[in-house]
């Protein structure tokens, strides 16, 4: 996995938000040596249409409002892996790093080894997070589907006098006959019941 991630850095688009000082220039040069396509910007713009896979942001206290506004927009966009760049550790800087939601931290002076390591770690953590989010979404859909089926079974048991097993078998047979999911059949039963209930109340 790590070897694939390292290879994946070659040609990847990276945007660097860092003052154009020696550290900023060294950071850009190190990224280019790794093989990244680098775009350097400073100061943080009020509007930024991000198209980079990786974004590095200097946690500059002097421009805290601009920096945090930028990372907020990046987080909302959700397309890039964010890394924080810090020059020294203090409570204020650490708070910015935490609020930024960065996947890794690059310390200055920037070293090629530390930079490559943190890039790989950040990309790996992002992939793991996305995999977990996909799994959670899948489980949530499954739970929601089960709730619909349970509600539809309850409706059939009440209206048609079926047992729970018979109601389940009814939903399953309809799904097989119509070549659709049990969740879709359950939803149609729920909607039909809601419509009938509304009609009776109107009468």
Residue-wise pLDDT for 38-90, tens only, equals 999 999 888 888 888 899 999 998 889 999 998 898 888 778 899 999 987 78
3-state DSSP call for residue 14? strand
CATH class of 135-202: mainly alpha
pLDDT of residue 5: 64
What residues of the chain score a pLDDT lower than 50? 1
**Residues comprising the chain, all counted:** 203
User: Where does CATH 3.40.50.2300 sit in the chain?
Assistant: 2-110
Q: What does the alpha-carbon distance between residue 54 and residue 15 come to, in Å, rounded to a whole number?
A: 7
- Please tell me the pTM assigned to this model: 0.72
User: Where does CATH 1.10.10.10 sit in the chain?
Assistant: 135-202
**Region 2-110: CATH code:** 3.40.50.2300
Decide: residue 110, CB within 10 A, 0-12 exposed, 13-18 middle, 19+ buried.
Answer: buried
């Amino acid at each position: 996995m790590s070897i694939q991630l390292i290879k994946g850095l070659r040609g990847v688009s990276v945007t660097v938000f860092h003052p154009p000082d020696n550290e900023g220039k060294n950071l850009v040069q190190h990224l280019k040596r790794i093989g990244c396509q680098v775009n350097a910007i400073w100061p943080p713009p009020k509007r930024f249409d991000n198209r980079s896979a990786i974004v590095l942001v200097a946690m500059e206290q002097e421009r805290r409002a601009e920096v945090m506004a930028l990372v907020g927009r990046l987080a909302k966009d959700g397309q890039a892996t964010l890394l924080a760049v810090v020059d020294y550790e203090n409570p204020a800087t650490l708070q910015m790093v935490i609020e930024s939601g960065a996947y890794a931290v690059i310390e200055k002076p920037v070293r090629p080894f530390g930079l490559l390591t943190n890039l790989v770690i950040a990309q790996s953590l992002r992939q793991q997070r996305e995999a977990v989010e996909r799994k959670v979404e899948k489980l949530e859909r499954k739970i929601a589907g089960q709730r619909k089926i349970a509600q539809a079974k309850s409706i059939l048991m009440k209206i048609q006098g079926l047992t729970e097993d018979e109601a389940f078998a009814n939903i399953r047979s309809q799904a097989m006959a119509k070549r659709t999911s049990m969740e879709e059949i359950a939803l149609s039963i729920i909607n039909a019941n809601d419509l009938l209930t509304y009609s009776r109340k109107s009468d």
